[in-house]
Amino acid sequence: MSPSLLSDIVGHRVPLRILQRALELNRIFPAYLFEGQDGIGKELVAFAFAQALLCESRGIHEQSNGTACGICSACARVRLREGVPLHPDLVLLERGLYDPAQIGRRTPEAKLISIEQIHSVVHSRLPFPPYEGQARVFIIRRADELSVSAANALLKVLEEPPLRTCFILLSTKAHSLLPTIRSRMQRIPFGVLSIAEISQILQRRDVNAEQADRIASLADGDAAHAWMIYKNELMAEQEHFVSKVFEAMQSSSPLEILILADTAKKDKTNLPLLLRVLALVLARREREGILKSCFAVGTYATLYERVLKALNQIQMNASPQLVMETLLIQMQHEWSKKN
Protein backbone atom coordinates (compact mmCIF):
# COMPACT_ATOMS: atom_id res chain seq x y z
CA MET A 1 0.00 0.00 0.00
CA SER A 2 1.25 3.48 -0.93
CA PRO A 3 -0.49 6.09 1.19
CA SER A 4 -2.29 9.15 -0.04
CA LEU A 5 -1.69 12.45 1.69
CA LEU A 6 -4.43 13.21 4.19
CA SER A 7 -5.46 16.17 2.06
CA ASP A 8 -5.89 13.94 -1.02
CA ILE A 9 -8.20 11.35 0.55
CA VAL A 10 -11.78 11.32 -0.73
CA GLY A 11 -14.57 11.42 1.85
CA HIS A 12 -14.37 11.12 5.67
CA ARG A 13 -14.43 14.89 6.15
CA VAL A 14 -14.88 14.83 9.94
CA PRO A 15 -12.21 12.19 10.76
CA LEU A 16 -9.73 13.90 8.46
CA ARG A 17 -10.38 17.29 10.00
CA ILE A 18 -9.81 15.87 13.52
CA LEU A 19 -6.48 14.37 12.49
CA GLN A 20 -5.34 17.42 10.52
CA ARG A 21 -6.18 19.66 13.47
CA ALA A 22 -4.15 17.43 15.79
CA LEU A 23 -1.18 17.74 13.44
CA GLU A 24 -1.55 21.51 13.14
CA LEU A 25 -1.58 21.93 16.93
CA ASN A 26 0.97 19.15 17.48
CA ARG A 27 -1.41 17.54 19.96
CA ILE A 28 -1.21 13.90 19.05
CA PHE A 29 -3.08 11.38 21.18
CA PRO A 30 -1.02 8.38 22.24
CA ALA A 31 -3.71 6.10 20.80
CA TYR A 32 -6.54 6.33 18.29
CA LEU A 33 -9.39 3.95 17.54
CA PHE A 34 -10.62 4.08 13.94
CA GLU A 35 -13.98 2.30 13.89
CA GLY A 36 -16.27 1.47 11.01
CA GLN A 37 -17.04 -1.24 8.47
CA ASP A 38 -14.39 -2.85 6.30
CA GLY A 39 -13.41 -1.37 2.97
CA ILE A 40 -14.28 2.27 3.62
CA GLY A 41 -10.73 3.62 4.02
CA LYS A 42 -9.78 3.37 7.70
CA GLU A 43 -6.43 1.80 6.88
CA LEU A 44 -5.75 4.30 4.09
CA VAL A 45 -6.29 7.14 6.57
CA ALA A 46 -4.15 5.36 9.19
CA PHE A 47 -1.22 5.11 6.79
CA ALA A 48 -1.63 8.74 5.70
CA PHE A 49 -1.67 9.86 9.34
CA ALA A 50 1.40 7.72 10.06
CA GLN A 51 3.11 9.33 7.08
CA ALA A 52 2.42 12.78 8.51
CA LEU A 53 3.83 11.74 11.91
CA LEU A 54 6.99 10.25 10.39
CA CYS A 55 7.63 12.92 7.73
CA GLU A 56 11.11 14.44 7.93
CA SER A 57 9.67 17.91 7.25
CA ARG A 58 7.17 17.79 10.09
CA GLY A 59 7.53 20.85 12.31
CA ILE A 60 10.26 22.37 10.13
CA HIS A 61 8.23 24.31 7.58
CA GLU A 62 5.48 26.51 9.02
CA GLN A 63 3.40 26.23 5.87
CA SER A 64 3.25 22.44 6.20
CA ASN A 65 0.84 22.67 9.17
CA GLY A 66 2.27 19.38 10.36
CA THR A 67 1.11 17.45 7.29
CA ALA A 68 3.34 15.14 5.26
CA CYS A 69 5.42 16.57 2.44
CA GLY A 70 4.98 13.36 0.41
CA ILE A 71 8.48 13.54 -1.11
CA CYS A 72 11.03 12.93 1.65
CA SER A 73 12.65 9.56 2.31
CA ALA A 74 10.41 8.87 5.30
CA CYS A 75 7.23 9.59 3.33
CA ALA A 76 8.37 7.34 0.49
CA ARG A 77 8.89 4.44 2.90
CA VAL A 78 5.47 4.60 4.55
CA ARG A 79 4.20 1.75 2.40
CA LEU A 80 4.20 -2.01 2.38
CA ARG A 81 6.47 -4.41 0.56
CA GLU A 82 5.37 -8.04 0.79
CA GLY A 83 3.09 -7.08 3.67
CA VAL A 84 5.81 -5.42 5.76
CA PRO A 85 6.26 -1.64 6.21
CA LEU A 86 9.49 -0.30 4.71
CA HIS A 87 9.88 2.42 7.36
CA PRO A 88 11.46 1.02 10.55
CA ASP A 89 9.31 3.22 12.78
CA LEU A 90 6.04 2.04 11.25
CA VAL A 91 4.99 -1.28 12.75
CA LEU A 92 2.02 -3.37 11.66
CA LEU A 93 0.20 -5.91 13.84
CA GLU A 94 -2.44 -8.37 12.71
CA ARG A 95 -3.52 -11.90 13.53
CA GLY A 96 -1.32 -14.36 11.66
CA LEU A 97 0.90 -11.66 10.15
CA TYR A 98 4.08 -13.08 11.67
CA ASP A 99 5.50 -16.56 11.46
CA PRO A 100 4.97 -18.30 14.85
CA ALA A 101 8.73 -18.71 15.33
CA GLN A 102 9.24 -14.97 14.87
CA ILE A 103 7.08 -14.16 17.87
CA GLY A 104 8.01 -17.11 20.07
CA ARG A 105 4.98 -19.31 19.43
CA ARG A 106 4.77 -22.97 18.55
CA THR A 107 1.45 -22.69 16.71
CA PRO A 108 -0.09 -20.12 14.35
CA GLU A 109 -2.47 -17.46 15.63
CA ALA A 110 -5.64 -19.15 14.41
CA LYS A 111 -8.34 -16.83 15.73
CA LEU A 112 -6.82 -14.08 17.88
CA ILE A 113 -3.85 -11.75 18.10
CA SER A 114 -1.67 -13.38 20.74
CA ILE A 115 0.12 -11.90 23.73
CA GLU A 116 3.35 -13.15 22.14
CA GLN A 117 2.81 -10.78 19.22
CA ILE A 118 2.34 -7.85 21.60
CA HIS A 119 5.46 -8.80 23.56
CA SER A 120 7.73 -9.42 20.55
CA VAL A 121 6.46 -6.67 18.25
CA VAL A 122 5.47 -3.90 20.70
CA HIS A 123 7.14 -4.39 24.09
CA SER A 124 10.52 -5.27 22.60
CA ARG A 125 10.69 -1.88 20.86
CA LEU A 126 9.52 0.37 23.69
CA PRO A 127 12.77 0.59 25.71
CA PHE A 128 14.42 2.16 22.67
CA PRO A 129 13.76 5.49 20.95
CA PRO A 130 12.40 5.59 17.38
CA TYR A 131 15.03 4.62 14.82
CA GLU A 132 14.82 7.91 12.94
CA GLY A 133 13.79 10.28 15.67
CA GLN A 134 10.43 11.66 14.47
CA ALA A 135 7.98 9.20 15.96
CA ARG A 136 7.00 5.56 16.10
CA VAL A 137 3.59 4.34 14.91
CA PHE A 138 1.91 1.00 15.57
CA ILE A 139 -1.10 0.13 13.39
CA ILE A 140 -3.19 -2.80 14.64
CA ARG A 141 -5.52 -4.29 12.03
CA ARG A 142 -8.75 -5.88 13.31
CA ALA A 143 -7.95 -4.85 16.86
CA ASP A 144 -11.16 -6.53 18.03
CA GLU A 145 -9.27 -9.82 17.50
CA LEU A 146 -6.88 -9.10 20.38
CA SER A 147 -6.96 -11.96 22.87
CA VAL A 148 -7.73 -11.01 26.47
CA SER A 149 -4.10 -11.46 27.48
CA ALA A 150 -2.89 -9.47 24.45
CA ALA A 151 -5.39 -6.69 25.20
CA ASN A 152 -4.22 -6.52 28.82
CA ALA A 153 -0.58 -6.40 27.69
CA LEU A 154 -1.44 -3.53 25.34
CA LEU A 155 -3.40 -1.80 28.09
CA LYS A 156 -0.27 -1.62 30.26
CA VAL A 157 1.44 0.32 27.49
CA LEU A 158 -1.52 2.67 27.01
CA GLU A 159 -1.66 3.40 30.75
CA GLU A 160 1.86 4.89 30.54
CA PRO A 161 2.31 5.71 26.85
CA PRO A 162 5.91 6.22 25.69
CA LEU A 163 6.92 9.56 24.21
CA ARG A 164 6.75 9.95 20.43
CA THR A 165 4.75 6.74 20.11
CA CYS A 166 1.30 6.51 18.59
CA PHE A 167 -1.04 3.53 18.36
CA ILE A 168 -3.77 3.34 15.72
CA LEU A 169 -6.27 0.53 16.21
CA LEU A 170 -8.58 -0.38 13.34
CA SER A 171 -11.82 -2.14 14.19
CA THR A 172 -15.20 -3.08 12.78
CA LYS A 173 -16.40 -4.16 16.24
CA ALA A 174 -15.10 -1.55 18.66
CA HIS A 175 -17.55 -2.72 21.33
CA SER A 176 -15.55 -5.97 21.52
CA LEU A 177 -12.48 -4.17 22.85
CA LEU A 178 -11.90 -3.92 26.58
CA PRO A 179 -13.67 -0.83 27.97
CA THR A 180 -10.41 0.14 29.67
CA ILE A 181 -8.67 0.20 26.28
CA ARG A 182 -11.45 2.20 24.62
CA SER A 183 -11.34 4.75 27.43
CA ARG A 184 -7.66 5.46 26.77
CA MET A 185 -8.06 6.16 23.09
CA GLN A 186 -9.50 8.91 20.95
CA ARG A 187 -12.32 7.20 19.12
CA ILE A 188 -12.86 8.29 15.53
CA PRO A 189 -15.89 6.78 13.77
CA PHE A 190 -15.80 6.33 10.00
CA GLY A 191 -19.01 6.27 7.99
CA VAL A 192 -19.65 4.67 4.63
CA LEU A 193 -18.71 6.57 1.48
CA SER A 194 -21.30 8.16 -0.77
CA ILE A 195 -21.88 6.98 -4.33
CA ALA A 196 -20.27 10.18 -5.63
CA GLU A 197 -17.19 9.66 -3.42
CA ILE A 198 -16.71 6.06 -4.54
CA SER A 199 -17.16 7.10 -8.16
CA GLN A 200 -14.48 9.76 -7.67
CA ILE A 201 -12.11 7.19 -6.15
CA LEU A 202 -12.61 4.86 -9.11
CA GLN A 203 -12.14 7.64 -11.64
CA ARG A 204 -8.85 8.56 -9.98
CA ARG A 205 -7.79 5.00 -10.83
CA ASP A 206 -8.66 5.51 -14.52
CA VAL A 207 -12.11 3.94 -14.51
CA ASN A 208 -14.33 5.81 -16.98
CA ALA A 209 -17.00 7.99 -15.40
CA GLU A 210 -20.05 6.04 -16.60
CA GLN A 211 -18.67 2.71 -15.36
CA ALA A 212 -17.51 4.30 -12.10
CA ASP A 213 -20.98 5.70 -11.38
CA ARG A 214 -22.62 2.35 -12.08
CA ILE A 215 -20.20 0.36 -9.91
CA ALA A 216 -20.38 2.93 -7.10
CA SER A 217 -24.15 2.47 -6.96
CA LEU A 218 -23.62 -1.26 -6.31
CA ALA A 219 -20.89 -0.95 -3.67
CA ASP A 220 -22.91 -0.11 -0.52
CA GLY A 221 -20.47 2.60 0.52
CA ASP A 222 -17.49 0.21 0.39
CA ALA A 223 -14.63 1.43 -1.82
CA ALA A 224 -12.76 -1.89 -1.57
CA HIS A 225 -15.86 -3.74 -2.76
CA ALA A 226 -16.26 -1.27 -5.62
CA TRP A 227 -12.69 -1.93 -6.74
CA MET A 228 -13.28 -5.69 -6.55
CA ILE A 229 -16.38 -5.32 -8.76
CA TYR A 230 -14.33 -3.34 -11.26
CA LYS A 231 -11.49 -5.88 -11.27
CA ASN A 232 -13.94 -8.74 -11.80
CA GLU A 233 -15.60 -6.86 -14.66
CA LEU A 234 -12.19 -6.06 -16.15
CA MET A 235 -11.11 -9.69 -15.96
CA ALA A 236 -14.32 -10.80 -17.65
CA GLU A 237 -13.81 -8.16 -20.35
CA GLN A 238 -10.22 -9.31 -20.90
CA GLU A 239 -11.23 -12.96 -21.18
CA HIS A 240 -14.01 -12.04 -23.62
CA PHE A 241 -11.62 -9.96 -25.75
CA VAL A 242 -9.00 -12.71 -25.96
CA SER A 243 -11.69 -15.27 -26.81
CA LYS A 244 -13.09 -13.07 -29.59
CA VAL A 245 -9.62 -12.42 -31.03
CA PHE A 246 -8.93 -16.15 -31.22
CA GLU A 247 -12.33 -16.76 -32.83
CA ALA A 248 -11.65 -14.07 -35.42
CA MET A 249 -8.12 -15.39 -36.03
CA GLN A 250 -9.33 -18.96 -36.61
CA SER A 251 -12.22 -17.86 -38.82
CA SER A 252 -12.04 -17.21 -42.54
CA SER A 253 -14.85 -14.66 -42.32
CA PRO A 254 -13.98 -10.96 -42.52
CA LEU A 255 -17.19 -10.12 -40.67
CA GLU A 256 -15.80 -11.09 -37.28
CA ILE A 257 -12.76 -8.90 -37.92
CA LEU A 258 -14.97 -5.91 -38.74
CA ILE A 259 -17.15 -6.43 -35.67
CA LEU A 260 -14.16 -6.71 -33.32
CA ALA A 261 -12.39 -3.72 -34.90
CA ASP A 262 -15.55 -1.63 -34.52
CA THR A 263 -15.74 -2.64 -30.84
CA ALA A 264 -12.12 -1.54 -30.39
CA LYS A 265 -12.98 1.87 -31.80
CA LYS A 266 -15.73 2.27 -29.19
CA ASP A 267 -13.55 1.08 -26.31
CA LYS A 268 -10.26 2.68 -27.28
CA THR A 269 -9.46 3.70 -23.66
CA ASN A 270 -9.12 0.07 -22.55
CA LEU A 271 -7.59 -1.21 -25.79
CA PRO A 272 -3.91 -0.87 -24.76
CA LEU A 273 -4.55 -2.96 -21.63
CA LEU A 274 -6.50 -5.56 -23.62
CA LEU A 275 -3.66 -5.85 -26.13
CA ARG A 276 -1.15 -6.33 -23.31
CA VAL A 277 -3.28 -9.13 -21.91
CA LEU A 278 -3.51 -10.70 -25.38
CA ALA A 279 0.28 -10.51 -25.71
CA LEU A 280 0.73 -12.25 -22.37
CA VAL A 281 -1.65 -15.05 -23.42
CA LEU A 282 0.25 -15.53 -26.70
CA ALA A 283 3.61 -15.58 -24.91
CA ARG A 284 2.32 -18.19 -22.46
CA ARG A 285 0.97 -20.37 -25.27
CA GLU A 286 4.31 -20.15 -27.08
CA ARG A 287 6.13 -21.37 -23.96
CA GLU A 288 3.62 -24.17 -23.49
CA GLY A 289 3.98 -25.12 -27.16
CA ILE A 290 7.75 -25.38 -26.86
CA LEU A 291 7.41 -27.67 -23.84
CA LYS A 292 4.86 -29.88 -25.61
CA SER A 293 6.47 -29.75 -29.09
CA CYS A 294 3.19 -28.34 -30.36
CA PHE A 295 2.59 -27.71 -34.09
CA ALA A 296 2.07 -24.00 -33.38
CA VAL A 297 5.58 -23.39 -32.05
CA GLY A 298 6.78 -20.14 -33.58
CA THR A 299 3.31 -19.10 -34.65
CA TYR A 300 2.40 -17.68 -31.25
CA ALA A 301 5.77 -15.89 -31.13
CA THR A 302 5.01 -14.24 -34.47
CA LEU A 303 1.53 -13.30 -33.32
CA TYR A 304 3.02 -11.89 -30.11
CA GLU A 305 5.28 -9.61 -32.17
CA ARG A 306 2.30 -8.48 -34.25
CA VAL A 307 0.36 -7.55 -31.11
CA LEU A 308 3.29 -5.58 -29.67
CA LYS A 309 3.56 -3.66 -32.95
CA ALA A 310 -0.16 -2.89 -32.84
CA LEU A 311 0.13 -1.75 -29.23
CA ASN A 312 2.95 0.61 -30.19
CA GLN A 313 0.82 2.04 -33.01
CA ILE A 314 -2.10 2.64 -30.61
CA GLN A 315 0.25 4.45 -28.23
CA MET A 316 1.35 6.62 -31.17
CA ASN A 317 -2.32 7.65 -31.61
CA ALA A 318 -3.06 5.56 -34.68
CA SER A 319 -6.71 4.76 -35.43
CA PRO A 320 -7.76 1.91 -33.06
CA GLN A 321 -10.19 0.54 -35.65
CA LEU A 322 -7.61 0.49 -38.44
CA VAL A 323 -4.92 -0.99 -36.20
CA MET A 324 -7.23 -3.78 -35.04
CA GLU A 325 -8.39 -4.57 -38.58
CA THR A 326 -4.77 -4.83 -39.76
CA LEU A 327 -3.73 -6.88 -36.73
CA LEU A 328 -6.57 -9.37 -37.09
CA ILE A 329 -6.00 -9.82 -40.83
CA GLN A 330 -2.32 -10.53 -40.10
CA MET A 331 -3.25 -12.95 -37.32
CA GLN A 332 -5.70 -14.77 -39.63
CA HIS A 333 -2.97 -15.08 -42.26
CA GLU A 334 -0.36 -16.39 -39.80
CA TRP A 335 -2.80 -18.91 -38.37
CA SER A 336 -3.94 -20.15 -41.79
CA LYS A 337 -0.30 -20.90 -42.75
CA LYS A 338 -0.18 -23.49 -39.94
CA ASN A 339 -3.46 -25.09 -40.88
**Sequence spans of domains, the chain:** 6-191, 232-337
pLDDT the model gives residue 1: 53
| pLDDT band of 219, cuts 50, 70, 90 | confident
**How far apart are the C-alpha atoms of 250 and 182, rounded to whole Å?**
65
Beta bridge partners of 186: 32
The mean predicted confidence, pLDDT, of the chain is 86
pLDDT tens sequence across 119-173: 999 999 999 989 887 899 999 999 999 999 999 999 999 999 888 999 999 999 9
pLDDT of 329 > 70? The answer is: yes
CA-CA-CA-CA torsion sign (106, 112, 114, 115): negative
Collect all residues with Cβ–Cβ distance below 8 Å to 157 and sequence separation of at least 6: 122, 123, 126, 167
Instruction: Write b or e for each residue in 245-276: b if 16 or more Cβ atoms lie within 10 A of its Cβ, otherwise e.
Output: bbebbeeeeeebbeebbebbeeeeebbeebbe
pLDDT on residue 291? 60
Task: Name the nearest CA neighbour of 29 among 9, 45, 53.
Answer: 53
* Type of residue numbered 102: Q
CATH number for 6-191: choose from 3.40.50.300, 2.40.30.10, 3.40.47.40, 3.10.20.810: 3.40.50.300
- CATH 1.20.272 given to domain 232-337: yes
Q: Across residues 47-65, what is the average pLDDT? A: 76
Q: How many CA atoms lie within 13 A of 94 on its CB side?
A: 12
Res 95: pLDDT: 94
Q: pTM of the predicted model, to two decimals? A: 0.73
- Rounded Cα distance between 42 and 48, Å, is 10
